[in-house]
A and B are shown apart, each in its own frame.
Chain A
Amino acid sequence: MADIQKLSEVEHVKQASNYLRGTLAESLVNPITGALYPDDTHLIKFHGSYQQTDRDLDSERKRQKLEPLYSLMIRVRVPGGVASAAQWTRMDELADQYGNGTLKLTTRQAFQLHGVLKRNLKKTIQGFNEALLDSIAGCGDVNRNVMFNPNPHQSRVHEQVYEVSRQISAHLTPRTSAYWELWLDGESKYSSAPNEGEEDAEPIYGKTYLPRKFKIALAVPPHNDTDIFANDLGLIAIEENGRLLGFNVAVGGGMGMTFGMPETYPRLASLIGFVPAEKVVDVCEKVVTIQRDWGNRENRKFSRLKYTLDRVGLDVFKAELDRRLGFALEPVRAYEFKSSGDAFGWSQGPDGAHHLTLFVEGGRVADRPGHQLKTALREIAAFHRGDFRLTGNQNLILANVAPTDRLTIEAILAKYGVAVATSSGLRRGALACVALNTCSLAFAEAERYIPQLIDRLEPILAAHHLTHDDILIRMTGCPNGCARPYLGEIGLVGRAVGRYNLYLGAAFNGERMNKLYKEMLDEDGIVAELTPLFADYAQHRQPQERFGDFMIRQGYVQATTSGLTFHE
């Protein structure tokens, strides 16, 4: 055990919280501030919410002798990204009623509401519950939303793996009754609510939960749209004739790092073996418990599994995993990933079902002049008999559309100005985190700004006939990596307002990270740096060669081979 004196502040808060209660009940009803008590700001994350301020207004409000405009972001878990039409409708309503009128589809296939005032938080969470949704473990030092390809085309194997992802999610959901007690007045329509009279206990997590967040993603090759290597635990489904055999297991991925601290770095997960499908939940639990016991609880910058692994060594970790499992993992099976992006437009699965993948810029479902995506989707949800699938690239699939509904859906989209195909490959594949004005970590803009940057890059791409090439661009407002920027063929990471570091050379299929190319670029600088690279790519690329691979072959950057060499 770690020396108690040295434990980080958050560890003490968790320890004293009585299974995530803290003083949240009092915080919520304190009428003289829109904020929670400081300790409770850590605990609220486990309930799926971050306290934020409108940073655009911080300075102005301070001068006005008003506290910052505090509000809460709430993240709703959607395992595998599959939501029913009724659930979509409810989220849409809650966004208008208590949020800022928009829905954010996250890079982890979750819904986010922004701008919820403290006094409305409970009513909002009760609204989720009525639609059989919850926000527990949306954030915090626990296993987060479990990701899985929403891809409905491989319908048979998808069904089986989706079931596994739900089992993993349920198995690793915190058991504390604090969530039901605080938000739902002890009542729940949700099946995993605790039984009456049971005392709180966390058989997997223990009283202090994990040292840090923990992320799991699953994928069926050749699609790696869940970016499984960016996760603490990545599971690659291995199938045979549409039957799920099991999973290749990869451990220790994670994107976050801190500028000025080269001992922090993004890292891709390492493959350690294969496990049959029926044992995969057990593998997840054991990886989680090793990290629970071995992870760094003194300095949160080094708490993720990736640092634990690089500290003890992969072999030691594997041996411990085998010991805890009581069996050894089998050798890794062959697989091939081809892409990490989404394919847009209509498609038809082998079972004849129709699916429509829609581009959602920045994952933001909103009504804007001439582009009323939110209204269009609300109208569709009213009759759509299939489901809504959130992709790991912040896009949306209307899955299992009845053939008779196709024309109606197209008409509604047209009526509200929602185009199915969009301008360029660059824009289609773009990922951006929320950043300013609500994320407290952001140094720079991301979601609000990347469309403008792409506006400037598109004519240059067009001049080089690259408009329809899929080039992955990813932007974050800070180095913590929410939009997985180190897996972007073009990664832009905010350093200061209007200034970005430019990273190049990631693999299109998510199997190699990029490398720092230029620092502290403003918009003109970014455009000036990218322009000759696009020209070179257009002229000298080989057939089928991806932009990220080309950057390495031409020597613009060295290939990043592991997290430890990311900064080299």
Chain B
Amino acid sequence: MSSFSSTLPIGFDEATLQQLTAGLSDRQLLWLSGYLYGRAGTDPATAASAPAAGAAPVTAAAPVAAPSLTILYGSQTGNSKKAAGLVAEAARQRGLPATVRDMNDYPPKDLKTERHLLVVVSTQGEGDPPIAAEELHQFLLSNRAPKLPELRFAVLALGDKSYLQFCQTGFEFDQRLAELGATRLLERVDCDVEFEAEARRWAGQVLGLLAESLPQVAAPVAASAAAAPVKPVAVSVVVGGAEVELEERVEYHSRNPFEAELLEKIQLNGRGSTKETYHLEFSLADSGIQYEAGDALMVQPRNRPGLVQEVLDAARLEATAPVRLETTELDLTTALTERLELSVVTRDVLERYAALAPHYPKLREILADKAALPTYLYGRDVADLLQEFPVELSGQQLAAVLRPLPARAYSIASSLLAHPEEVHLTVGAVRYQSNGRAKHGACSSFQADQLHLGDTARVWVDRNEYFKLPQDPGTDIIMVGAGTGVAPFRAFVEERAETGATGQNWLVFGNPHFTTDFLYQTEWLQHLKRGTLHQLDVAFSRDQQEKIYIQHRLLQQSRRLYDQLENGATFYVCGDKTRMAADVQRALLTVISQESGQGETYAADYLKQLRKSRRYLEDVY
């Protein structure tokens, strides 16, 4: 470790480092690196040292230090891209190292790592940003935008003077960056249709200013890190305790859920889809909640007001009737909304209800026929039951019949490294008709219909012990998911992209239609482009005469699949338990049997060994 001691910040010697990391496993070190990186990045006082941390081996997980000069463009017609190219060329001629980046591919969180930023952006129509810049623009203008006190910047705005909102987007970038504490190197320049001469002039000026400061940036990072020593408090949190304290500083669970604010909600299915899938982003700010890719998030739903009313009507009970649940007194509406399960009737509920309604022999018959019971219960809710077998009962009696409203688990769709202090979910809204009434999945419809931006949901993390990335970042992974089953794989790919894992990432995804149901399509295309996803196979079952599912794609890729397994790959399946997971397993057995040439028994044994060594992992529901 002595080799890098010269790069350590002042007040942080090798002994401290040893003390900090003694007894930690590789995995724990890796985790810690991300934690510290994220922490340093969110604390303005230590933000300056974040790039420095990136250079130290302890933080192998962190991205490499930010380039000294970034030229960031947002282009619609290609003019801004061209202007950015002119600026880059001018920088190259002056010997200034610069990176040109497209706003379309630029993760907004990277802004924090920038030190010298030249923005070239055009304005569309009546003052709108180019589509390529929308995401960054929206982020920057939102409350989520970080303070940028370390940033020096200048903006070149492109536009057309004949429009009222000439160069509006450039103006907004310029103004907002300054508001966020960044230092303006040069007054913004607004170019008309003929932009090239202006762009060259601007480049000359701004690069002239930068030439004085950039060499300092290129020099060893230790200099700037020295100015801002790591805050002891940040260290003590880590030093002070073992892994337990790190991961469970504050325990959130069903009795103490975290109120997570909804930051973003996007319907992922294009128009005309038969599916309704939501991408939700929750804030974990100030919770200290940590999770790993592969974990699940528990979400505590609230029942739909419409359903609560139907239950009240069917039971002919007052909304304000008092009830006691355990030790709590509350009114019936609150109990039915927050505490009791209404959308599902289970056997125990039916039994308790039947006890209150001895005059319905049919209820006893239903309960007696164990084989037919699941069919009876399918798609029935509490309102159905109350309507079908009306009984005179009190609010307290009803509460005693019903089950507590359970939280639902969702495979987390994000990596904490990629989205610090956030957790993302992929939720398919469950809706169907049954018993002549529209039915809605309790938790999916809660998130789809009731939860709006700024609202909070009660959540906590449910660890999935085994559905995790391989310990060895060099191990290949094969991810097979249909529909919302793709969620954990988004987390996996993000995590492996952030940590720079060298193993191959192969995703096989299926859904009904290419045009409307290709969940996270643009993100996958970006990962492919960046080399953080290596193979993507898709099966859109309804786009052609014959139905093609993911297992067909596995069979088509038989050789490649077997080779990767032989090479030590881990195989993941996520999604529908009854059909998809079984079909995938069958396909895998065929592949092994066929490619090994050793028959079915061998294949069955091979798969068993894969399971045993935790290289065949399922997250199915």
Contacts and interface: CB of A to CB of B under 8 A. Distances in A.
B163 interface: yes
Interface in A25-64: 31-34, 57-64
A66 B270 CA distance: 8
Contacts of B270: 57, 61, 64, 66, 69
B538 A496 contact: no
A65 B525 CA distance: 10
A382 interface: no
Nearest to A58: B131
Range for the number of chain A residues in contact with chain B: 20 to 34
Interface in B506-523: 514-516, 518-523
Contacts of A61: 270
Given A66-B518, A496-B163, A497-B126, A260 B268 contact: no
Contacts of B521: 32, 65-67
Contact of B162 (A69, A117, A261, A495): A495
B271 interface: yes
Interface string A239-261: 00000000000000000000111
A117 B515 contact: yes
Interface string A267-298: 00000000000000000000000000000000
A119 interface: yes
A260 B161 CA distance: 10
Interface in B142-199: 160, 162-163, 192-194
Contact of A64 (B162, B192, B268, B524): B268
A261 B516 CA distance: 40
Contact of A31 (B125, B514, B520, B528): B514
B279 interface: yes
B269 interface: yes
Contacts of A117: 515
A32 B535 CA distance: 11
A66 B272 CA distance: 14
A260 B193 contact: yes
A65 B515 contact: no
Nearest to B160: A260
B270, B279, B543: most-surrounded residue (chain A CB, <10 A): B270
B126 A65 contact: no
Contact of A496 (B125, B267, B525): B125
A350 B518 CA distance: 61
B514 A34 contact: yes
Given A32-B524, A497-B125, A65 B160 contact: no
A520 interface: yes
A519 interface: yes
B250 interface: no
B522 A32 contact: no
B89 interface: no
A33 B525 contact: yes
B498 interface: no
Contacts of B194: 260
Nearest to A117: B515
A31 B125 CA distance: 33
Contacts of B193: 259-261
A496 B525 CA distance: 31
Contact of B269 (A34, A64, A495, A496): A64
B209 interface: no
A62 B134 contact: yes
Nearest to A33: B525
Interface in B8-61: none
A62 B163 contact: no
A32 B192 CA distance: 38
Contacts of A63: 134, 266
A60 B271 CA distance: 10
B126 A32 contact: no
Nearest to B509: A32
B264 to A, nearest CB: 10
Given A57-B270, A67-B522, A260-B192, A32 B125 contact: no
Given A259-B193, A519-B162, A31 B538 contact: yes
Contacts of B126: 496-497
Contacts of B524: 32
A66 B538 contact: no
Contact of B266 (A57, A58, A64, A495): A64
Nearest to B543: A119
Contact of B267 (A31, A32, A64, A260): A64
Contact of B538 (A32, A57, A60): A32
B167 to A, nearest CB: 14
A32 B536 CA distance: 8
A534 to B, nearest CB: 27
A350 to B, nearest CB: 53
A119 B540 CA distance: 12
Nearest to B519: A65
B162 to A, nearest CB: 6
Contacts of B131: 58-59, 62
A124 to B, nearest CB: 15
Interface string B451-482: 00000000000000000000000000000000
A57 B271 contact: yes
A338 B538 CA distance: 59
B592 to A, nearest CB: 25
A60 B518 CA distance: 15
Contact of B515 (A34, A59, A496): A34
B190 to A, nearest CB: 15
B193 to A, nearest CB: 3
Given A57-B271, A259-B193, A495-B162, A67 B125 contact: no
Contacts of B525: 32-33, 67
A477 to B, nearest CB: 12
Nearest to A496: B125
Contacts of B536: 32
A276 to B, nearest CB: 47
Contacts of B135: 62
Interface string B477-506: 000000000000000000000000000000
Contacts of B266: 63-65
Nearest to A70: B515
B254 to A, nearest CB: 31
Interface string A1-41: 00000000000000000000000000000011110000000
A456 to B, nearest CB: 22
A520 to B, nearest CB: 6
Interface string A339-371: 000000000000000000000000000000000
Contacts of A59: 131, 134
Interface in B276-318: 279
Contacts of B543: 119
A165 to B, nearest CB: 37
A67 B522 CA distance: 6
Given A259-B193, A260-B194, A65 B520 contact: yes
7 contacts: A31-B514, A31-B537, A65-B266, A69-B270, A259-B160, A259-B193, A260-B194
Given A67-B518, A260-B160, 5 more contacts: A57-B271, A65-B522, A67-B522, A259-B162, A260-B192
The 5 closest A-B pairs by CB, nearest first: A260-B193, A65-B522, A65-B520, A496-B125, A66-B521
Interface of A: 31-34, 57-67, 69, 117, 119, 259-261, 443, 495-497, 519-520
